[in-house]
Amino acid sequence: MCRVLAFIGPETPLEQLLLTPTNSLVNQALDPERHPELQLAGWGFGAWSEHLHNPEEPLIYHRPMAAFYDDNLPHIVPSLRAHTMLAHVRAAAYDAKVVLADENCHPFSFTGSPWIIAQNGYLPNWQLLQRELLQHCSDDYLQQMRGSTDTEFLSVLLLSLLEGDSDEDVQRAVERMIQLIAKAMADLSLPGLTKLKLSLVSANRIIGVNAGLGLHGETNPSGDWEQLRESGPGTDDFDLSMLLEPMYLLMGRNFEKNETTYEFETCEEGEATGAIFASEALTDDTDGWSHVGFGQIVFLHKEGDTVSKTVATLSMEA
């Protein structure tokens, strides 16, 4: 699976989020702690900043190569600050069929939607499942598809199901999307383990999703992900562990204060000025990092100088 990182908070150097931490997103491309493969298929980020010429729109950057090989990175990232960001490093099978192109790098953005979207996940047989799922997709979003990835198609499907941009609207759309995928798998006899660890980000908002379907397309897979992980790569148990493992959440302050050592202060929600939603903790010391468990959705809002958090359980049964 890929690795993802979303941030909201005060205007903070992107270097502090992407490069400086011991387990920074760029380092995860080369040496992820919780994934057996390198993330070599590209990377990208979207960022909102008061310092941009158009602060209402995100700056989107994509490069179809491993992040640590990107010669632009040491020149672009240190010059940028952001109050909202979504970044991603892409994993893909070591296969000549994998298309390495800007169009296949996350995050994905669409005219007509405030959200940019990235995920570390996988929808098996998605090209065939389209036979059932395309009827639920908006022409406006389908016509904007440029790449060949399951995530871009899932983004189109999810945005098409949205009836509004409230937290409740997004949760209903996520639940409906999962139900439709499960039904399509059953109708076409194409069940398969599906990872939907999504991040939807707009200015001063993050919605993080940790969901999916089990090995046989079931909506209620269960198990101890840490015990399952011991089975090792290439086994069904290991794949299930990758589905059931948590996402990581940090509520804190002083993200922007120290520009050399990435020091921040974890704190209670009412005092937090920033938040991170990520595939992995960015620091060796995980004190202060909490989990967003499988089957949960988290809503993070920045209002004024503080960030609020709401965690809900997804209803994935049809």
Could you identify the residue written with the tokens 């387990």? 23
pLDDT of residue 104: 86
Least Cα distance to 282 among 9, 15, 27 occurs for 27
SS3 call for 300: strand
Return the higher-pLDDT residue of 204 and 32.
204
Question: b/e map of 18-28 (b: 16 or more CB within 10 Å)?
Answer: bbbbebbbbbb
Q: Are 298 and 41 in contact (CB under 8 A)?
A: no
Asked if residue 315 lies in contact with residue 174, where contact means CB atoms within 8 angstroms, the answer is: no
165-219 pLDDT per residue, tens: 999 999 999 999 999 999 999 999 999 999 999 999 999 999 999 999 999 999 9
- Which tens digits make up the pLDDT trace of 219-242? 999 999 999 999 988 899 999 999
Query: Does residue 110 contact residue 144 with C-beta atoms inside 8 Å?
Result: yes
pLDDT per residue as tens digits for the range 132-177 = 999 999 999 999 999 889 999 999 999 999 999 999 999 999 999 9
- Region 296-310: what's the mean pLDDT? 95
**Contact (CB, 8 A) for 159 and 110:** yes
Q: How is residue 196 written in tokens?
A: 């939907």
Lowest mean pLDDT among 87-91, 168-172, 254-258, 296-300: 254-258
